[in-house]
Amino acid sequence: MARFQTDKQQARALKKQVRALLLVDDHSILREGLAHLIDREGDLKVCGQADTPSRALAAANALKPDLIVVDIALKGGHGLEIIKRIGAANPRTPILVLSVQDETLFAERSLRAGARGYVMKQAPIDELMTAIRRVLRGSRYVSKRMQERLLDTLSDGQGTSGPRGVECLSNRELEVFQLVGQGCGTRQIADRLQLSVKTIETYRAHIKEKLRLRTGLELMRTAMKVASEEQRF
């Protein structure tokens, strides 16, 4: 009887060590593939999946995962606002960003919004697993490349800046800038971000002023150039 109880206690201990993850991404094939890889790990399992911010919030509240892995480029989402919304509703649940967006533009912003780590989708699967476990242990995670960049920023004492000047944009301005780079017009951007056309025009004006661009054509060319540079990573 004592041996049975000991085995039962060990089984419970092992069960407690398995950490549950919620995956939030609007690409179903990627979610399923990632879930399969995670479930092969002995200490990790996927307890749920979501493809929109609202479904992510509902799943997080219902499933109480140990970690939420989220893409910040969801359809119907507001970029970094997704992190803030999920974090506000689930303050004790760490968030790890897994995104195709260039980490030099979004890693620090994501951490400031409340995420505990940032991994690009182009990274090896081993790096993702390392990031997941590190965040679950209560630490933060960014790539070595990003660590060096942040350290350089601190040592220079210049804050967040860069050769392209894009880092000076606010989170919302950066979203608009990226959508311009994807070839979206003002109306499309307004619909995508659920804002008025007038508001988007105001953001465009602010972007041009900050980047010292004179015309809408210069804005489009600059945004498309930055977008093409990001695709190299």
Q: Where do the domains of the chain lie? A: 11-150, 166-230
Over residues 47-103, the pLDDT tens digits come to 999 999 899 999 999 999 999 999 988 876 667 888 998 899 989 999 999 998 888
Percent of the chain with pLDDT over 90: 55
pLDDT band of residue 163 (cuts 50, 70, 90) is very low
Please report the pLDDT score of residue 75 as a whole number: 75
Over residues 9-24, the pLDDT tens digits come to 544 544 458 999 999 9
pTM value? 0.74
Least confident of 34-43, 61-70, 157-166, 219-228: 157-166
Please report the pLDDT score of residue 57 as a whole number: 92
Fold of the domain spanning 11-150: Rossmann fold (3.40.50)
According to the 3-state scheme, what is the secondary structure of the chain? CHHHHHHHHHHHHHHHHCEEEEEECCCHHHHHHHHHHHHCCCCEEEEEEECCHHHHHHHHHHHCCCEEEECCCCCCCCCHHHHHHHHHHCCCCCEEEEECCCHHHHHHHHHHHCCCEEEECCCCHHHHHHHHHHHHCCCCECCHHHHHHHHHHHHHCCCCCCCCCHHHCCHHHHHHHHHHHCCCCHHHHHHHHCCCHHHHHHHHHHHHHHHCCCCHHHHHHHHHHHHHHHCCC
Just give the CATH number of 166-230.
1.10.10.10
Is residue 2 pLDDT above 50, yes or no? no
